[in-house]
Structure 1
Amino acid sequence: MKKPVLLELNTVPCTFIERLNRFVALVDVNGETRKALVTNTGRLEEFMIPGRKAFCLPKTSGKTDFVLVAFEDLEGKGAVIDTRTQAKAFERAVELGLVPWLKDCRIKRKEVKVGSSRLDYLFDCPGGETYAEMKSAVLRGGKRGEYAMYPDCPSTRGQKHIRELIELKKAGKGAMIFFIGAMPGVEKFRPYERGDPEIARLLREAEKAGVEIHALSISLLPGKGVILERPELEIEV
């Protein structure tokens, strides 16, 4: 079955050289060394290997020339590491009604202040409002590489968000955390215990408290854009 294109992106091929810091990488574009913005704060060690083919999006302002959007992965497709691209693709999928676990929901607000945190979304659904946080799952696991996992390193921010969602649910409000498995070929989601055992524990606590946990998968199809791979992944917490 043909997979829907969620975002059209005019990316250019590039080659990863090195990560200078949390937000900047060096890439080779047409034989020239250029700076690229990295929006994903994970370690991304399985992708950020010198010489690995990647896909960059030109920028028109700022201290970097490109955004590092994706790395070449399976079947010539790209694993989308750029969290802004992940969010835009997800929002388009919701708008098109392609996310079964958000059927008949709409995004009411983004960047919603809750306690001392900001959560990514507030959804207006037939059953009422639901507070939601999105996380990027771009670590592959499993014998067949069938799992998208999060996080690949400790995340106190992620821990804080899950605790906020648990408290919201206990207060009788709708609460959800969902993961963008931004790689081709993944079928399931599970937390990466070695990356942050507290995140894994909190997700189990959240599930018991009634917080909804979901995941979907996307990938970059070079020359086309970001496609929806699977609208729902199996969850294992």
Structure 2
Amino acid sequence: MKYNNILKGKFISRPNRFIANVEVNGIVEVCHVKNTGRCKELLTPNATVFVQEHNSVKRKTKFSLIGVIKENRIINMDSQVTNKVVHEWILKGNLFSDVTLIKPEAKYGNSRFDFYVETETQKAFIEVKGVTLENRGIVKFPDAPTERGVKHIKELCECMTEGYEAYVIFVIQMKDVLHFEPNDDTHKEFAEVLKYAKGYGVNIIAVDCDVEEDSINIRDYVEVII
């Protein structure tokens, strides 16, 4: 996954979860933040960030904030990119060996999952979660309570009763981490429902990423501890 028109900037402030003030080329610009999580450990005063410049006159902001440097590690913050990198990863032959259909934003009952995949012998629903929270090499999800996340996990269990396979893929938007675990300090219910889902047969997967200023690609599997 490649980005165009990437510039380096300095984080100034975040008035709300949708925008940030970033100094770019000596000018403080209002940037769209492509991640509605708290990200307090990432967006610290004077942090080096990466923004994408857009040329569309229809946009309210000229720039989007997509990455940050934390302790010499580049972390991608774009919550919209995780589905794209998973899509690319699956099409390259990962997770399934003989994909005959991959459908993004697939409906199941009254629900909608990130992907529906078919092979010659399998039918599976997949939910993707982006991970940016890291401390001493341990990465966790979520960084804020997520009732939507709880709902998704429960719905994946439901689809298994009709013979579908189910996957949760945690895309760690950085590399060189130790392991992934649910953040029960922030949202205990999510941690509990994830543990239940694992016992129920939902496949819980974590992968890290090679991240550069202008790109992100899935790298390898990361140990999941629940």
Question: Given the two structures, how large is their TM-score scaled by the length of structure 1?
Answer: 0.87
2-structure distance, mates of 1:42, 1:117:
22
Query: Bigger shift: 48-57 or 109-118?
Result: 109-118
1-structure distance, mates of 2:46, 2:217:
25
Partner of 2:216: 226
1:127 to 104, 121, 125: 121
1-structure distance, mates of 2:49, 2:146:
26
Structure 1 residue 88 displacement after superposition: 2.1
Deviations 1:182-203 (A, max 9, x none): 1221142110111110110000
Partner of 1:181: 172
Alignment-mate amino acid for residue 222 of structure 2: L
**Counterpart secondary structure, 1:232:** strand
Structure 1 residue 66 displacement after superposition: 1.1
Alignment-mate amino acid for residue 64 of structure 1: T
1-structure distance, mates of 2:100, 2:45:
41
Structure 1 residue 67 displacement after superposition: 1.3
Partner of 1:27: 22
Structure 1 residue 30 displacement after superposition: 0.6
Partner of 2:111: 117
Partner of 2:148: 157
Partner of 1:46: 41
- The CA RMSD measured in Å over matched residues stands at 1.9
2:76 to 55, 80, 92: 80
2:133 to 112, 122, 139: 139
Structure 1 residue 115 displacement after superposition: 3.3
Question: Given the two structures, how large is their TM-score scaled by the length of structure 2?
Answer: 0.91
Structure 1 residue 8 displacement after superposition: 5.2
Alignment-mate amino acid for residue 75 of structure 2: A
Alignment-mate amino acid for residue 79 of structure 2: T
8 Å Cα contact 2:198/2:204 also seen in 1: yes
Structure 1 residue 37 displacement after superposition: 1.4
Q: Does 1:212 align with 2:207?
A: no
Alignment-mate amino acid for residue 137 of structure 2: E
Cα separation, partners in 2 of 1:148 and 1:37, compared to 1, 3 Å:
same
Percent identity of paired positions between Structure 1 and Structure 2: 29
Partner of 2:8: 13
Deviations 1:160-215 (A, max 9, x none): 10110011112321111110111221142110111110110000110011011111
**Counterpart secondary structure, 1:63:** coil
In the comparison of the two structures, how many residue pairs are matched? Answer: 224
**Counterpart secondary structure, 2:139:** strand
Structure 1 residue 107 displacement after superposition: 5.6
Q: Which sections of structure 2, spanning at least 5 residues, go unmatched? A: none
